[in-house]
Structure 1
Amino acid sequence: MVKARNTASTWREVLQQPGESVFGADFIEAYGDRSWEPVDADSAAAHSLHVELISRIATQALGYSDGVEDRALTSVFELFGRARAITEKNPGCVTFETVIWYVLNSRVRPFTAKWHPKSVAGALRALDSSDEFRAGLVGVQAALVELDKVLQLIRTQPGYVVDQQGRPGQDAIDNEMATPVNWRPMGTNVAGDVLAGFSALERSAVEQRRTRYNLDPERGWAAGLALSGGGIRSATFSMGVMVSLAKRNLLPQFDYLSSVSGGGYAASFLTQLLGATNVPPKFSLLGTDLPFTRDEGESLMLRRIRHGASYLSGSFVERLAVAMAQAQGVFINMLVLGLIAAFFGYADFMLGQRIPRDTARQAALWSPVLLAVIFLAIPLIQKIRGPSPRAQTWMALLGIVFLLPILWVILGAAHSGWRPLVDWVSSLRTLLPDQTPDVSTISTWLTVLGSLSAGAGALLTIFSKGRPVLLTVFMALFFVSLEVLSVDFYMTLDTQAVFVFVGIIVVAAYLWFVLDVNVISLHGYYRGKLAASFLIDPSREVAVPIRLSDFDPASALFPIVNCALNVPGSKRAVMRGRLSDLFSFTPVATGAPVLGYNSTRDWEKANPNLDLATAMALSGAAVSPQMGLGTTRYASFWLTLLNLRLGLWLRKPGSKASGPGVRHLLQELTATANERGAFVNVSDGGHIENLGVYELLRRRCRYIVAVDGESDPKMTFHALTNLQRLAYIDFGIVLELNLDDLRLGQTGYSRSHFQFCRIIYPAGHQDSKEEIGYLIYLKLSLTGNEGEFLRRYKLDEPAFPHQSTADQFFSESQFEAYRALGEHVGEKLFLPAITGPLGRDVDLEDWFNRIGRSLLDPRAAATGDGPAAAL
């Protein structure tokens, strides 16, 4: 027999609570006047379901990156089966039955009915697409937690109380994120350091902006926004992300805007618009002001950027002018190479008249024997005279003497092998109009060389894996061909050859003293097109690019424009494997670690054309003979020869040297530029670090948002892992990365658009312990939950969102696809499932803390493996 419990309470008195309750007015209306009289069967049933609830995800907080949504849905759905079995096992559990089935049917069933078909369709595969699911799950969990409290009332013996206040280890995460990171403007806070003056100026500029936007000007930490390289694709994607940040008034709270290449287009747009003097009213970084505020349509400022998406397009006249300028550059580069070949050819011609080839052949055959004798004699000489400080020089000269006969024989073989081709070319002269023999020979030879070059290009396309070898062979053949051609020409002229040689010397001298290799490059055209499209002045049709030294820091983020300093010919050991260094422009200082830093104003005095447009174009000078980490001598030769040169030679501050001239062109041709001369070669920042985060790490930013818009169709994260390597080698900084949710799944989509990473700053001589910063890494990616426009665009353009960077002619739909994706990805940073409810004015520190609570796991105790283990 079931025994009733003694109670005088009604269900209304037990279950009705102030505020929102799982037991709504309809339930209280129907059951509120009943006496609260649970029996033993109710107690047993309540105990069984209580165990189910506390052991399932049904009442446990689910971190944003924890667990699997499909399994969470299944766990909640299984409660129906377990409640049914418990009810059947405990006949007479009327109180339990009434309470449990009301909650399951009114609160849980609508949730499972909605999400079960979506789960079957795969809607929960994307991490951020499950935001709505997780938000609904939070509501269900709250109802079940309240239900569990009622179950404990039914069984009258309180047990385990569910705690939904946070994830395991939450206190440790909160304590960690409360630890300060000391800001280091210009990368140093050491008193008396050579950079201390620049550091103070940079700090002052940042504090002016903080004051303007009512932030604490003396807060000890800094935050930076980094926009990666990737051409117009990255610029457009970054613009979409910034729109999302501006909506919540987060942009003014960042201190730095560090950019590379394409990201620099968007960054320079903001710098020009808000960093010029006399910024118009209602122009600021606030979401309620221009350029980000919307009226009935898109902001007029952003619309002008949209119209400049195909920035390299031009009229027929403009294209013709560019083609002719390019032709001039190719002609001059070819002429310089031809003059060098002609010089060697004249030496070959004169020696050929005086030294028989057979004599040289005999010398080449005997030279190894002679060399062996000299090698054996060297130890005796060293024993008698002692080690010589000039031993290396003498050995180099010995090598030259040894190689000369061999080279002479090779050239002789080239002349012999070339004779059939010379005869064939001579026969082609009969097909040409009546000209002087010499002119027709030269014209025909150039035609043949052009045909051979076209054939070489075809071979390079077919045999791409052997490209380095083929290019090197073609480079040698090309130069030898010019040399043999010049010798043949001298032989035709015979005694008059000396006059041609004198003419060659005169032309070479003219080019040496007159030629400016910056003028014949494509940099000027590229700079002009970028400036016209991305640098905007609200008061005039065409903006006048500001000088960085004239930057007004009150309204804009402090800009860092990142480039690569090409020094493949450097003698410094640190540069041998890297071939380049990070070169940065800021309003305060410009330079690179291998060079040192000078005032930006001094750099501008040394280079009168250096302004924001020039810095932006240099940061995006992707096509250059010397390309940082990717510099190769064979590629440098051909890129220089074809005048594919967007980089620039900058004069060092204080230098009075003229140029840059032929000597610098030869350094590009042979990939031997260095930091020792009066000029330095600067190109795309992506040639060494394509994220733009390096300089923010140097300054020990506590919070960094990095927008990665580079082309990465296989999601290998080259830019981020390259940064990870450079940061550890140069600064001892460790980036703790886990990129699993960004990798492509079986469906070809990622699970998430971003990752939250720790930055471990090492303890220095001024630090008692290591400091921890945080990086939000936003990746150009698709998760499958994008809107219909993006889904349709993906069907039309399967390569989206990683279309080639070579495509710089964006259509309106292409621009909108990347912009919309950027805003979509930016919005995912504010998912309620991650941050909880946020208003329109978001505090940056609180925002990072909320994301950290959702995504970080407590740090493991330090091990003997050291920080390099994170690499």
Structure 2
Amino acid sequence: MKPDDAPTSATSTPSTLPDDWQALHQAERLALQARRRSALGLADDADHPALALPTVGLALSGGGVRSATFALGLLRGLAQNRGQQHGQPNSERPDPADRSLVADGMLGRVDYLSTVSGGGYTGAMFGRLVQAFGLPQAQALLARSDSPVLQWLRRNGRYLSPAGSRDIGIAVVTYLRAWLAIHTEFMFACMLLGLLVIAPHLAQHSTQLLDPQGWERWFTPWWPVALSLWAATAPGLVAGYWAARDSHDPNARAVGPGWRDMVFVAAMAIAAWLLLRALRSGDTVNPVHDALDWATAALLALLSIVVGQLFVQARLALGREPHALAVARLRNQLTRWLKAATLVVVAIGGMGALDRASWWVLEELQSGNQWLWGGVGFGGLVVLVLRRLAQPLQQMAAEAGARARGWLPRLMDVGSLVGLLALVTAWLVVLQWFVFAPDTFSALREVPAWMRALLVGGLWLGWIVLTAGNAQMANTSSLHSFYRARLTRAYLAVGNPRRGLAGGPLPRGDGTRQATHDVTSVVDGDDSALDSYRPETRGGPIHLVGTCLNQTRDDQSGLYNADRKGTAVTATWRGLEIGPAEFVALQPGDDTGTLGRWIAVSGAAASPGAGSYTSRGLALLVYFLGVRLGHWVRAPRESVQLRWLSRLAWRFAPKPLMLASEASATFYGVERPWWYLSDGGHFENSGIYPLLKRETDFMVLADASCDGDYSFGDIENLVRKARIDFGAEIDFYTREEAQHLFSLAGSDLTVLSPEQMADNHSSRGVLLARVRYRERVGPRGPWRPEATLLVVKPNLHDALDVDLLAYARQHERFPHESTGDQSFDEAQWESYHRLGEDFGRALHDTWLAQLPGWRSPARHGLRVAARLRSAADDAAAGAKAEPLWRRAAKATAITTTIGVGASGTLLLSVWQVQEQLQRNRVDQQTEARALFTEVSKALQDFNGRCPKVAEHVVTQASLLFDLRGSPAMRPLERAGVERLAGRIADECRKDADPSADCVAASQRLRNDLCAVVQKPPTENTAFSYWHPGTSPDEQAVAARRIWLALTGRASQLASAAQGNLPVPPPPSAPQADSPQRASLGACRQGDERSTLYIEIYDEASREAASALRQAIQQEADVLVQVAPIDNAARNAELRQQRRPVPWPVPTFVLHDPASRECALALSRFIGEPWVTPTRIDGVWIRERRRSAVPRPGVIELWLPPVLVAGQSAEP
């Protein structure tokens, strides 16, 4: 394309330009014509040979600060190369007809400036300089070594990664703010998911309709529901698919079922009927009691098969379309239904798994087990270590072979999914604790679970109503604003006249020079609106900013997931170019944004959407770490008519949809009202793509990507996309071919073959390529326009400056150090800048004029094209002599490999741990056997009529009986303990001898040993999934009291406080006079006394519990038999079971509802430290689970742990 082919009109504005690529093409041709006239100082109607020169494009590739610094040096070197005038070079006012485009520097020859990622930092800086001061002064400012612009950039080149305590503090709080915002949004998302997950548990907790005896084996109600749904749908869909068979005549219509099909359906129906009769006769079909068993599941499967077969046979018999077509459509439909049913079943089963896992974790935490907290701490340590090793791991991944690069993304996907499940489970644990735990906050202790869940739902609904419509929150919660501000003040601010970097006085009213020279200060004019950024109007190039529009899904089919996962979006003040051919002109009112925003988007490498690099694992990792630089932009046009539900959701609740898209890496490209844009390098990193689209005649590429082994991955990607999208072929010259075809006078630059780039000794090495555009038909037949591509890739040679080679000796990977390094020190910054400047100075007009396409249309005589470097070349290069500047280099990375020795050490450690565990188990069994032997010998002469048992034997016997059910006991010893307990129980039933000594001994032993032996299984936890601590009636009373308190009806509240139930719900204590009114005589159960078992959770409570036991024994010994105090937590440890969750207040658990009056009478004995003047939480009375066998007269008293000495007793 040549600018002299431009149309005659010169005024195209965003409001008048249509959405057509050809219209943009014509407008840019006109702009290039005007640009060259401005640079040459020509009138609108004047002619000049330079107007007919081929178009030149300069592309600055991505690569972070490395690319930006190298590109800055290249621009400075080009600006220093001033061409000669056609007339007198020293003329004060040369004739415009004698002026050339390179008179003020080689940058005057550049028509297009295409930038991606880090190259955009420098490109936007140059464009701002040109727009502010004009092209001649901009080149002068770049060329001068003492320029304030260079000083600013050198001083603030590391500003993206701040150094210094103040900057680090700003970066930390900015990151924490973004991280907190993301996890706050995730918390509210987990609220909704959690309420759905706990819904069946909440319903059972509030109504207790299901019988726990039949449902406990399923752990959660979700799993039987999932199995029932699958049994009722999947067998029928599978059987129906098999029944849809092809016919020998494809054109047949209304094909009826065969006799075999009818027999099969009849057999399945009979089997279902027989199974139903068998279940009904046994009275086993009771889903409320038994949940789902295998017989019921089989019945559902048989009925599903019958229905599926009948449905398919009826469809085929009654259909009017050809049988082959009907079968194909029916199979497709059945397959889609089976997929949907399977996904629903998996989702339901997954919710059950989350419900069960979160409840299990909560039980562990509530019971006080410390190992879980240790695991959390270890996980945090692992995260810190992995974060520290992130860069080495990335380097290993980059250097890994093709096989490793295949499994590393999958490993990241699995790891991120595990992390997501851990986060979801953690929030569900918090929700389960808030809703179901008996002792959360003191203000919520008497609030029923369903009201707590309602409170959570109200909070979620309020958050959604208030924030879901705030679409910009998806952007403000990311690091984009921080990144953009840093870029703007470090690079774009050099084009702000108020900064005074061009010299001269500051504009009036702009403060002190110190403030304007402070990069941390925000000065008006540092950034500019995109629609006013037009450097071509001041003689500069048209700046093309490359970004990537992410698209991982196709809304039309729901299956689209192309390898690219995105398309190129090029932004200019005229509009947005989308892909190879689409263009959307920017209109007044469109979301154009600022130049700083688009440059930041162009460099948004860390993003959940990463073009062809997008994966679910990477998206989750980046999302939850809070390192999100991508940006949502409102679509300038609505390209697809959405369905009504999707349209409403994007209109009224865009924020959660945006965040969900980022977390799940689900992007729809242009098919949504908001587009997700990220680093242009995610699509094409060189920046040449938009230049090929314009069929530019001569292109210079500054390829500063991280390519230490010179594998040319970005160039390979460019060659492939050029062929696919534009039909353009790119062929590289070999060194011999270039020397044969071109004289290339001078030794400043050498055209190398791609495989020679890594081993260059002589001089600055560049790559030269021929570009052949798409074939077209001309007057002389088919032909292909040609262009030239010159690639300037950082490489070292012997003639470089001594300080630069010294830096290369000390840094093995220079000039291809990691892009993750965004904080360059002075030596590093100067080395990259000087290397780029060295190349720029060598690219003078005389040398470039020898290449096709610089001064005349390109015509290449390339015969044999070079190939890009291969693995074989790498091996050959490794055998060559080391370059001069590498001979003193030392390795900077230490590679650690787990060899045979390390693996053996690991296996030995595992074996030692296993051996220690086995030894501990043997020791425990030995101690249990010795205890059993000793107790058996001491009690072999036990006589219930006149027992004579030492106190230490009673203690040993209590410990032995506590070991029942423990793995420390072998089966034979367990059976012996049961026989011993049975014999003691029989002896305890005998009447004592009338002698005083025997009566006293018998009475003492009945309260000790006999009570321990006869102790039934206890309700050892206040926290149970299937056995909640409060009944539905008690929850209803509590809810009524809360409602009356909220509505302010004091009189009714007082009435409710009197209690419609004998015992109020927690935390209400029995009324002050109720224990006095209740008589201890109620503890007498006929001729038998009631038995009270006192349970504690720690030894610190034993002293206070012993005092309580003595008080009860002294006053009610003839009415209540008080067993020895038992430590439930210690017993659980002895049995190697989970520690019980303590009741929050003293709680009586009744084995018999008739014991309620007795428990109420005993409650008056409970005082300090459980009931104090400052903490009167009351005493709860609960009935035992319905599935337990009632034991008349048995009462458990659970005493919560007391506060240790010195701690406050305040709640």
Structure 1 window deviating more from structure 2 (383-392 vs 485-494): it is 383-392
Larger mean CA deviation between 678-687 and 332-341 belongs to: 332-341
* TM superposition shift of 1:774: 0.7
Partner of 2:686: 691
Aligned CA distance change for structure 1 residues 592 and 193 (closer, same or farther; 3 Å)? closer
Tell me what 2:61 maps to: 228
Match of 1:729 in 2: 724
Structure 2 equivalent of residue 597 of structure 1: 583
Q: Is the 8 A contact 1:753 1:825 kept in 2?
A: no
Gaps in structure 1 of 5+ consecutive residues:
1-178, 432-440, 831-840, 862-871
Query: For residue 257 of structure 1, what is the aligned residue in structure 2?
Result: 113
* 2:313 pairs with one of 373, 380, 384: 380
Corresponding letter in the other structure for 1:761? Y
> Quick one: distance in 1 between partners of 2:378 and 2:362?
10
Q: 2:159 aligns with which of 308, 311, 328?
A: 311
In 2, Cα distance between the equivalents of 1:523 and 1:226?
Answer: 24
Indicate the residue corresponding to 2:667 in structure 1.
673
Residue in 2 that maps onto 1:805: 819
* Matched AA of 2:449: D
- Aligned to 1:789, the other structure's residue is in SS state helix
The reply on whether 1:470 has 2:438 as its aligned counterpart is no
Is it true that 1:662 corresponds to 2:662 in the alignment? no
Once the two structures are overlaid, the 10-residue window that deviates more, 712-721 or 450-459, is: 450-459
Q: Partner of 1:300 in structure 2?
A: 148
User: Pick from 201, 218, 232: which aligns with 2:27?
Assistant: 201
SS, match of residue 597 in structure 1: strand
Mapping 1:307-386, distance limit 5 Å:
307-312=155-160, 313=162, 316-352=165-201, 353=203, 356=215, 357=221, 359-360=224-225, 362-363=227-228, 366=231, 368-376=234-242, 377=309, 379-380=312-313, 382-383=315-316, 384-385=318-319
1:772 Cα deviation after fit: 1.3
Residues 793/315 of structure 1: CA separation in 2 closer, same or farther (3 Å cut): closer
2:755 alignment partner, one of 728, 732, 743: 743
Compared CA separation, residues 361 and 578, structure 1 to 2 (3 A): closer
What is the TM-score with the length of structure 1 in the denominator?
0.66
1:112 corresponds to which residue? none
Q: Return the alpha-carbon distance in structure 1 between the equivalents of residues 196 and 581 of structure 2.
A: 40
Q: Is residue 400 of structure 1 aligned with residue 322 of structure 2? A: no
C-alpha spacing 1:854/1:511, structure 2 compared with 1 (3 Å): closer
The one-character-per-residue Cα deviations of 1:476-534 (angstroms, maximum 9, x if unpaired) are: 44334544553454333623222222222222332313462111111111111111111
- 1:498 and 2:446 matched: no
Q: CA deviation at 1:668?
A: 0.9
Cα displacement string for residues 342-369 of structure 1 (whole angstroms, at most 9, x for unaligned residues): 3222222222445853633652773643
Deviation at 1:723, TM superposition (A): 0.4
User: Does the CA-based 8 Å contact 1:625-1:640 persist in structure 2?
Assistant: yes
Secondary structure of the 2:671 match is coil
CA distance in 2, matches of 1:204, 1:180: 10
Equivalent positions of 1:255-294 (< 5 A) are 255-276=111-132, 279=133, 283-285=137-139, 290-294=140-144
Tell me which amino acid in the other structure corresponds to 2:697. Answer: R
CA displacement at 1:563 relative to structure 2: 0.7
Post-superposition Cα deviations, 1:130-182, rounded to whole Å, max 9, x if no partner, equal xxxxxxxxxxxxxxxxxxxxxxxxxxxxxxxxxxxxxxxxxxxxxxxxx9999
Flag the 1:402–1:757 CA change in 2: closer, same or farther, 3 A: closer
Residues 750 and 851 (structure 1), Cα distance of their counterparts in 2 relative to 1, 3 Å cut = farther
Of 540, 543, 546, the residue aligned with 2:528 is 546
Aligned to 2:476: 519
Deviation at 1:325? 3.3
Q: Which runs of 5+ in 2 are unaligned?
A: 41-47, 83-101, 205-209, 216-220, 243-308, 398-407, 438-447, 500-522, 639-649, 735-751, 866-1211
> Are the counterparts in 2 of residues 565 and 580 from structure 1 also a CA contact under 8 Å?
yes
Alpha-carbon distance, 1:660 to partner: 5.2
Choose the corresponding residue for 1:645, options 628, 640, 647.
628
Quote the residue 1:558 is aligned against.
Answer: 542
Partner letter of residue 695 of structure 2? R
What's the CA shift string for 1:176-235, capped at 9, x where partnerless? xxx99998999xxxx999233322321222111211233646527311111101111111
SS in 1 for 2:57: strand
After superposition, what is the alpha-carbon deviation per residue over 1:229-270, rounded to whole angstroms, capped at 9, x for unaligned? Answer: 111111111122222322143221121011111111111111
State whether residues 590 and 598 of structure 1, in contact with CA within 8 Å, keep that contact through their aligned partners in structure 2: yes
Distance 1:445 1:415 in 2: 20
Aligned: 1:761 with 2:773: yes
Q: Measure the CA separation in 1 of the matches of 2:136 and 2:387.
A: 55
8 Å contact kept, 1:233–1:262:
yes
TM-superposed deviation, 1:673: 1.7
Length, aligned pairs only: 648
The CA RMSD over aligned residues, in Å, is 4.0
Aligned letter for 1:263?
A: G
- Paired residue type of 2:313: L
CA distance in 2 between partners of 1:231 and 1:264 (Å): 9
C-alpha distance in 2 between matches for 1:458 and 1:860: 48
Amino acid at match of 1:566: N
Point out the more displaced range, 217-226 or 575-584: 217-226
Partner in structure 1 of residue 466 of structure 2: 510
Q: Quote the residue 2:837 is aligned against.
A: 823
Query: Match of 2:498, as an amino acid?
Result: R
The match for 2:616 among 627, 630, 633 is 633
Counterparts of 1:760 and 1:299 in 2: how far apart (Å)?
A: 41
Mapped to 2, the partners of 1:855 and 1:815 lie a distance apart of: 39
Matches within 5 A, 1:178-193: none
Letter in 2 for 1:731: F
Q: Are the equivalent residues in 1 in contact too, given 2:134–2:540 (CA < 8 A)? A: no
Residue of structure 2 in register with 1:175 after alignment:
none
Relative contact order (alpha carbons < 8 A, sep ≥ 6): 1 or 2 greater? Answer: 1
Contact kept in structure 2, 1:564 and 1:687, CA below 8 Å:
yes
Letter of the 1:339 counterpart: F
8 Å contact kept, 1:238–1:707: yes
Distance 1:707 1:659, change over 3 A: farther
Alignment of 1:769-780 (within 5 A): 769-780=783-794
* Mapped partners of 2:389, 2:170: distance in 1: 31
Partners of 2:583 and 2:758 in 1: CA distance: 49
Partner residue in 1 for 2:695: 700
- Closer/same/farther in 2, CA of residues 327 and 860 from structure 1, 3 Å limit: closer
Give the corresponding residue for 2:863: 859
Bigger radius of gyration among the two: 2
Query: What is aligned with 2:707?
Result: 712
Native 8 Å contact 1:349 1:491 kept in 2: no
Q: Which moved more, 1:697-706 or 1:457-466?
A: 457-466
Q: Work out whether residues 428 and 444 of structure 1, in 8 Å CA contact, stay in contact via their aligned partners in 2.
A: no
Structure 1 residue 459 displacement after superposition: 10
Tell me by how many angstroms 1:598 deviates: 2.4
Structure 2 distance, partners of 1:586, 1:575, is 28
Query: Equivalent of 1:422, from 354, 362, 375?
Result: 362
Residue type of the alignment partner of 1:815:
W
TM-score (structure 2 length as normaliser): 0.49
Quickly say closer, same or farther: Cα 1:445–1:591, change in 2 above 3 A: farther
Contact 1:183–1:699, Cα closer than 8 Å, also in 2: no
Q: Tell me, yes or no, if structure 1 residue 614 matches structure 2 residue 594.
A: no
Give the conservation status (yes or no) of the 8 Å contact 1:630–1:687: yes
Q: Secondary structure at the match of 1:292?
A: helix
For the 8 Å contact 2:786–2:858, the answer to whether it is kept is: no
Alpha-carbon contact 1:225-1:258 (below 8 Å) kept:
yes
